[in-house]
Amino acid sequence: MLPELTDLTDQITLTPLQALGIPIALIGAVFLSLGAQFQHAGVGIVEANDGGATRAGLSVKQLLALLRRPSWVIGTAMLGLAVVFQLFSIGLAPLTVVQPLGALALVITAIVTARRSGIPLDAISIRAIVFCVGGVALFVTVATVTTKTHPITTIQLTVVLIILAVVLSAFAVAFALFRRQLPAIFYIVGAGVLFGFVATLAKVVIGRVQTLIADEFQSVGVEWLTILCVIALLAASALGSYFVQSAYANGPPDLVVAGLTVIDPIVAIIIAVIVLGEASTAPLWAIAAFVVAGAIAVYGVFQLAKHHPQLQGNLISD
């Protein structure tokens, strides 16, 4: 029995310090869930005071009004804490391991939302949440034993920035041309994709700074590329945050959190695997497991968007 346990331990690629990123990521997920609840309440009140939800996205007037809502400000502070814990976790462990753990926020948010609204989740919605969390759990399990963090090169950083530029342009154009016809799922998917890049860029910046410190800032030109990466991170965060607030205006908080905690890590992990090479030593079966797990989780998100009972009603309180 002991040799079998030893063999299993040998397969785990995380060091004790990297494993510390897992509980830190889980704490961040709790703050994400609570922050989503408070922000959703604030957006709901602003929308109600301004005539109800709209597919056109929040106006500048509504965005400014959010700053006067205590619930929204508290939620924003909690999301800030969630980001701090997330950055700490991805600085310690591979992105493929800690980023998907935010799915815990989906479970917490779904339970709290059902209690606050008085609209219980039906069997279809519960099954959709199980698909989301189950897919993510499978992803993390496989990633824990097959992925490793590698030093991030200048070429990898450049590739990530180019991809992000294309994605930002695509979402911006789509929003500008079709904003009055866009459903809530557009904002949810858009926010998830953009924050997936934010997590990746944060990982890149952290890794690049660590490399620069190790080299005693001897590298030439890398600093400017890192600064450009920070600017791109802020741009993706700004548009992603706007999409999140617009999604709150058109859907329940657990649906928004589902998009952020499933689509976000899948995008981040795809980049981590393909561009950053975190799964470069993973066997073929692991790649297949990643694809299956991702498909299961995404299916759960779209099922939740299609069948969520609260899409027929929405609690607004502060």
The per-type count for the chain, helices as H runs and strands as E runs, is: 14, 0
Residue 152 CB: number of other CB atoms within 10 A? 21
- CB 243 within 8 Å of CB 259: no
pLDDT digits (tens, 9 = 90+) for 151-198: 777 788 788 889 999 999 998 888 888 877 777 788 888 888 998 888
- Note the pLDDT of residue 219: 53
Say how far residue 133 (Cα) sits from the centre of its chain: 14
- Note the pLDDT of residue 67: 84
Domain ranges, ordered by start, for the chain: 2-312
Model confidence at 95: pLDDT above 80? no
Read off the tokens for 85.
Answer: 């814990």
Environment class of 222 (CB within 10 Å of its CB; exposed 0-12, middle 13-18, buried 19+): middle
* b/e map 243-259, b = 16+ CB within 10 Å: bbbbbbbbbbbbbbbbb
* pLDDT, the chain, mean: 77
Read off the tokens for 107.
Answer: 């479970």
Distance from C-alpha of 94 to C-alpha of 272, rounded to nearest angstrom: 9
Distance from C-alpha of 79 to C-alpha of 61, rounded to nearest angstrom: 22
Percentage of the chain exceeding pLDDT 90: 2
DSSP calls for 71-116: HHHHHHHHHHHHHHHHHHHHHHS-HHHHGGGGHHHHHHHHHHHHHH
**Quick one: DSSP state of residue 311?**
G
- Rounded mean pLDDT of 42-52? 73
- CB 295 within 8 Å of CB 253: no
- CB 300 within 8 Å of CB 128: yes
pLDDT digits (tens, 9 = 90+) for 242-282: 888 888 877 777 777 877 777 887 787 788 778 877 777 77
pLDDT digits (tens, 9 = 90+) for 118-152: 777 788 888 888 888 888 788 777 877 777 766 77
pLDDT digits (tens, 9 = 90+) for 192-228: 899 888 888 887 777 777 766 766 555 544 577 878 8
- CB 316 within 8 Å of CB 41: yes
- CB 197 within 8 Å of CB 275: no
- Note the pLDDT of residue 206: 78
- CB 98 within 8 Å of CB 25: yes
